[in-house]
A and B are shown apart, each in its own frame.
Chain A
């Protein structure tokens, strides 16, 4: 009745859905690109040929991280380079090609987690993709162009109808203005866990990590602890972009964090980001309440760090919950 009254007065929905911060089944956690952006030198008065342009580019490494806690199974995945549509899928009317397709062991049983790894070489196919992106851009690529990586993953034993899809954009920009520098992925130096203002660095990167003597972070059943990412000093980069009137504007990155685990609950699923309404820098840590357990349980926790300019880094860790 309460929900009905609320719906009547506020026109709100009252459905209860899964908590997005808790991974229950197959999920793509993050996709990293190295480098996330490449900047090439161009002369507007004497534009480079495609070959001259491609010669300045380096291969791009793509890493996709996956969790699949519900079922122990192997996975099959495919990475496709393409121009992404609004819904994150490849635009079927524009160039695309498969970068790599492979298998992946059950992520939960692999000591260092599981990742899909591919290298995107600067070859003819890539060149065609990049040229299409430049040609279709109304600014003829002056502001930079994006190509996409479409990542598809599913059970190795089933048909691929139920596969999950994820996408990642990678940018190639001309050095306009002259002081334009490529973006770098952000990074976390330490991930602290603690309470009452005292935190210890979590050392384990994965719950199946067999390393002897590693410090194990223990949390009591139902206890709330603070997770705090320590980011590198040079993470918040300054960058410059061209404007439509031929000038440029300078910006500073903000860093956002996304928190995910297989159990428990977070006070804030997303932290960091731009300043709040009063101009305050928003806090980057979050509180995590451990699940109620009757026996020792290892809970994987992931934090994904983003610099908004397609720079992404994922940090996996593990907390041991004791009764």
Chain B
């Protein structure tokens, strides 16, 4: 027996109401005047929720009694809670939050259900409680009892069975209380939403289904003799379409900072066109990409320095190009994790950040899907079981900007510039085979295509135009995952991929030669991962990461790499074929050690070996993360680690690159804290420093002597350096039924030098201040309103201070001031979104209006100049741009 200090919250269940005029003895305040009519039945509390004890008050030993006035509607749902006498210290808010979740059997006035207001008190008491001795083992039951979703006499057959499903999605609801009030029988629905009542006598009954997240459902039902009835109860989410609250199992923490987005929650952030992956760009540590482009600018690194991983396999891009939506259909994803720095060992070959997409296993719970149609594209998603334990999902999308843009294009003038617009499509399919206790097999394939389409052309032009630009990518990933016993899991995952980039450009005015380049990457990768809790003290994430990549270049370009002096030489284009191969083998281990109950250390070691163009490379990256739990709500964290990244294939090309190029290196260090004062609110803050060196930089046709007296060109060297430091903070309100939002702020400075002797200059994407605020609210009746505000420092720019006419070419050369010594103006934008969802039993329909830049701020992204750099004009980002769309789910 031992003594524990615990916080006890006493809830006074004696209710005082306007109608019954039975004041709570603990609430001496007289109730308001009674309404017209006679109270024939008092409201009955069916479900109470214990409030959260305010942490500060608990720590200070404060107690309180909060008197509240509760308004209950005709269905028994609490619609409003007021504090009668404010206490402070967080007690009032905690009491209101708890009381809002109460569920009542509604009051009756003149024999009919009616709204009512009652008063009660919620007591917050800290009590020294004696941990009771364990109760004696209960005697074996005399009557046979069934599982929680069964009720009645188990010896009799089932006479009423059914399932509880959500309206609009047909999602089967577990944990719903289903009761037959007349018989006093209750069940709690099982994982598949099912319930069973045994031996119900013939008669008329009222079946109730109650869940805090749904409107209370009452359905009359009548039994005849020897009849068995099967029902389906459709439950309507409160407010029409509340946010789906995802209860995520506590994941083992093996990293210092991970910002997770749940797919289900974030399809309604304004300005993202319902694309949850775009929400990543509003998180701390991410700089704003110009023109809405999908570049991931993590903590001052180049976009190429941040890896994008799908179930651990690297993919080239998240988004369609030129500001298009994400390539990955959100329905296919389970979660999206952003690691802005100090990321775990399983993510390798990058020294910027990591974005990890976890794929969503396909459920065999019937035919479901969604479709979306808007101004830019149409997308569909379906999933269905195809056999026992085998299910299939498919998603696809196609843009049609090119179809209507012709209507708004200006008339082409003589010699007019060609107008091009992106056409994109993507597709994804997934097969899941559930092997039950032997694990799960899955096969996932995804492909995307982006091409530029010439929309308008000057028919009088004397030269041909070819803008055959295309970016395509394809991946197929197989995964076998199973439990190794206990908390340990194993996954084996091979993948094949093919990425291609082709572009060509004829000069419209024929002053330059035609050029085209095609790059094809063929990738074979394999991952083996074992992870989970080894013991009470140790957590492991370890694996093997193999990558084989062959890169092929096929270019039609003027090749001048053989000429000693190529300026002023008119070199005709010639076909050039080049190839590069990279083989990477890595082993990594993250070991989480709970040193004490408060302190957790996570040492990491990642070993990478490479064979690049026949030359071996090697890197060993140790890292250490520490997390210290200062209190139940506050955790301090720190990390220090090294990261490596192999050079791009073109940099090691023996002809156009430098075959002696080595691996790039970086060091990340940071400290911060996570504070979660309540279930809904959290603050995550961090300061960081990232130092990157040995970066591969283009030095541009440097001529070197060779041993035989001739020359050779060198285009790349490991001479670059880039440093960034900053502060990040995120104040987040987690998703509740009606609202969510966050405020993220990033202060960062990033600078670079191309050569050891050159000056430090800001990087091209340096933005000292980036602020994002997102809020969304569901007022009920299926409506949702959202707003997003963005504020970001302008990107560095080099000012133009004059020009010189180049008499040898006929063009003007800009005379520029100090490199990146100016900035474009501060970016600010407000996006809003309104959506209305209509719920039907088997499907739902939503219509939304998404307005980008509702205030029509003229945000300057760049400056364009006239032919002699005398006049200039801003190139602005999105203007006021409304988009209408509809989406359906079934």
Q: How far is the CA of A299 from the CA of B808 in the complex (A)?
A: 25
Which B752-799 residues have C-beta < 8 A from chain A? Answer: none
For B463, list chain A residues within 8 Å (CB). 276, 282
For B712, list chain A residues within 8 Å (CB). 244
| Contacts from B to A (Cβ < 8 Å) | 291, 322-323, 401, 405, 408-410, 414-415, 419-421, 460-464, 466, 504, 506-507, 509-514, 562-565, 567-572, 702-704, 709-713, 802-810, 813-816, 852, 861-862, 864-868, 871, 873-881
Contact A144 B804 (CB under 8 A): no
> Given the known A-B contacts A241-B563, A251-B571, A306-B809, are A17 and B410 also in contact in the complex, defined by CB atoms under 8 Å?
no
Decide yes or no whether A245 CB sits under 8 A from chain B: yes
Q: How far is the CA of A138 from the CA of B852 in the complex (A)?
A: 53
Which B-chain residue is minimally distant from A247 (CB atoms)? B562
Q: How far is the CA of A198 from the CA of B569 in the complex (A)?
A: 35
In the complex, which of the residues A6, A88, A138, A169 has the most CB atoms of chain B within 10 Å of its own CB atom? Answer: A88
Q: How far apart are A70's CB and chain B's nearest CB, in angstroms? A: 14
Q: How far apart are A302's CB and chain B's nearest CB, in angstroms? A: 11
Of A17, A144, A242, which contacts B873 at CB under 8 A? Answer: A17
User: Can you give 20 contacting A-B residue pairs, CB < 8 Å?
Assistant: A4-B880, A6-B410, A8-B879, A9-B405, A10-B421, A11-B323, A88-B804, A150-B804, A164-B805, A166-B807, A167-B813, A245-B562, A249-B563, A272-B510, A274-B570, A275-B514, A276-B510, A277-B466, A277-B506, A306-B809
Q: Which of A48-56, A91-99, A123-131, A252-260 contacts B (4 or more CB under 8 A)?
A: A252-260
Q: How far apart are B424's CB and chain A's nearest CB, in angstroms? A: 13
Q: Which of A105-113, A203-211, A261-269 contacts B (4 or more CB under 8 A)?
A: A261-269
Top 4 nearest A-B pairs (CB, nearest first) are A143-B565, A88-B804, A15-B873, A143-B564
For B322, list chain A residues within 8 Å (CB). 10-11
Which B-chain residue is minimally distant from A308 (CB atoms)? B570
Decide yes or no whether A295 CB sits under 8 A from chain B: no
Of A15, A253, A283, which contacts B570 at CB under 8 A? Answer: A253
Contact B810 A88 (CB under 8 A): no
Which A-chain residue is minimally distant from B461 (CB atoms)? A268
Decide yes or no whether A312 CB sits under 8 A from chain B: yes
For A34, list chain B residues within 8 Å (CB). none
Decide yes or no whether A139 CB sits under 8 A from chain B: yes
> Given the known A-B contacts A4-B880, A273-B511, are A18 and B871 also in contact in the complex, defined by CB atoms under 8 Å?
yes
Decide yes or no whether A165 CB sits under 8 A from chain B: yes
Of B513, B564, B572, which contacts A139 at CB under 8 A? Answer: B564
Contact B810 A8 (CB under 8 A): no
For A60, list chain B residues within 8 Å (CB). none
Give A270-307 as 1s and 0s: 1 = Cβ < 8 Å from B's Cβ atoms: 11111111101011000100000000000000001011
Which A304-319 residues have C-beta < 8 A from chain B? Answer: 304, 306-310, 312
> Given the known A-B contacts A87-B815, A267-B415, are A18 and B867 also in contact in the complex, defined by CB atoms under 8 Å?
yes
Q: How far is the CA of A165 from the CA of B571 in the complex (A)?
A: 28
Contact B415 A268 (CB under 8 A): yes
For A146, list chain B residues within 8 Å (CB). 567-568
Contact A265 B414 (CB under 8 A): yes
Of A17, A145, A256, A276, which contacts B871 at CB under 8 A? Answer: A17
Q: How far apart are B341's CB and chain A's nearest CB, in angstroms? A: 30
Contact A89 B815 (CB under 8 A): yes
Which A-chain residue is minimally distant from B867 (CB atoms)? A20
Contact A258 B414 (CB under 8 A): no
Contact B571 A244 (CB under 8 A): no
Contact B805 A166 (CB under 8 A): yes
Contact A256 B805 (CB under 8 A): no
Decide yes or no whether A83 CB sits under 8 A from chain B: no
For B409, list chain A residues within 8 Å (CB). 2, 6
Decide yes or no whether A246 CB sits under 8 A from chain B: yes
Which B-chain residue is minimally distant from A152 (CB atoms)? B804
For B873, list chain A residues within 8 Å (CB). 13, 15, 17
Seed contacts A13-B873, A242-B564; 10 additional CB < 8 Å A-B pairs: A8-B881, A64-B807, A87-B815, A244-B703, A246-B709, A251-B571, A268-B461, A269-B509, A276-B514, A277-B514
Contact B805 A15 (CB under 8 A): no
For B565, list chain A residues within 8 Å (CB). 139, 143-145, 241
Which B-chain residue is minimally distant from A274 (CB atoms)? B513
For B510, list chain A residues within 8 Å (CB). 268, 270-274, 276, 282
Q: How far is the CA of A89 from the CA of B405 in the complex (A)?
A: 43
Q: How far is the CA of A251 from the CA of B809 in the complex (A)?
A: 19
Which A108-160 residues have C-beta < 8 A from chain B? Answer: 138-139, 142-146, 150-151
For A5, list chain B residues within 8 Å (CB). 408, 879, 881
Q: How far apart are B469's CB and chain A's nearest CB, in angstroms? A: 13
CB < 8 Å A-B pair total: 211
Which B-chain residue is minimally distant from A84 (CB atoms)? B804
Q: How far apart are A167's CB and chain B's nearest CB, in angstroms? A: 5
Decide yes or no whether A175 CB sits under 8 A from chain B: no
Decide yes or no whether A189 CB sits under 8 A from chain B: no
Give the A interface residue count (CB, 8 A): 78
Decide yes or no whether A31 CB sits under 8 A from chain B: yes
Contact B570 A10 (CB under 8 A): no
Q: How far apart are A6's CB and chain B's nearest CB, in angstroms? A: 7
Contact A88 B806 (CB under 8 A): yes
Decide yes or no whether A200 CB sits under 8 A from chain B: no
Q: How far is the CA of A129 from the CA of B239 in the complex (A)?
A: 82
> Given the known A-B contacts A165-B802, A168-B808, are A244 and B563 also in contact in the complex, defined by CB atoms under 8 Å?
yes
Which B-chain residue is minimally distant from A20 (CB atoms)? B867
Q: How far is the CA of A167 from the CA of B802 in the complex (A)?
A: 14
> Given the known A-B contacts A17-B866, A258-B810, are A274 and B572 also in contact in the complex, defined by CB atoms under 8 Å?
yes
Q: How far is the CA of A256 from the CA of B570 in the complex (A)?
A: 11
Decide yes or no whether A73 CB sits under 8 A from chain B: no
For A277, list chain B residues within 8 Å (CB). 464, 466, 504, 506, 514
Q: How far is the CA of A142 from the CA of B507 in the complex (A)?
A: 32
Of A4, A142, A312, which contacts B808 at CB under 8 A? Answer: A312
Q: How far is the CA of A304 from the CA of B881 in the complex (A)?
A: 45
For A241, list chain B residues within 8 Å (CB). 563-565, 569
Which B-chain residue is minimally distant from A19 (CB atoms)? B867
Q: How far is the CA of A246 from the CA of B709 in the complex (A)?
A: 9
Q: How far is the CA of A269 from the CA of B291 in the complex (A)?
A: 31
Decide yes or no whether A102 CB sits under 8 A from chain B: no
Of B506, B804, B805, B807, which contacts A276 at CB under 8 A? Answer: B506
> Given the known A-B contacts A8-B879, A17-B867, are A276 and B808 also in contact in the complex, defined by CB atoms under 8 Å?
no
> Given the known A-B contacts A87-B816, A249-B563, A310-B808, are A10 and B513 also in contact in the complex, defined by CB atoms under 8 Å?
no
Of B419, B511, B703, B704, which contacts A10 at CB under 8 A? Answer: B419
Decide yes or no whether A28 CB sits under 8 A from chain B: yes
Which B-chain residue is minimally distant from A176 (CB atoms)? B564
Q: How far is the CA of A165 from the CA of B807 in the complex (A)?
A: 10
For B415, list chain A residues within 8 Å (CB). 266-269
For B867, list chain A residues within 8 Å (CB). 17-18, 20
Q: How far apart are A53's CB and chain B's nearest CB, in angstroms? A: 17
For A145, list chain B residues within 8 Å (CB). 565
Of A165, A244, A246, which contacts B805 at CB under 8 A? Answer: A165
Q: How far is the CA of A273 from the CA of B765 in the complex (A)?
A: 37
Of B466, B564, B572, B881, which contacts A243 at CB under 8 A? Answer: B564
Q: How far apart are A50's CB and chain B's nearest CB, in angstroms? A: 20
Decide yes or no whether A100 CB sits under 8 A from chain B: no
> Given the known A-B contacts A8-B879, A142-B564, A244-B712, are A270 and B803 also in contact in the complex, defined by CB atoms under 8 Å?
no
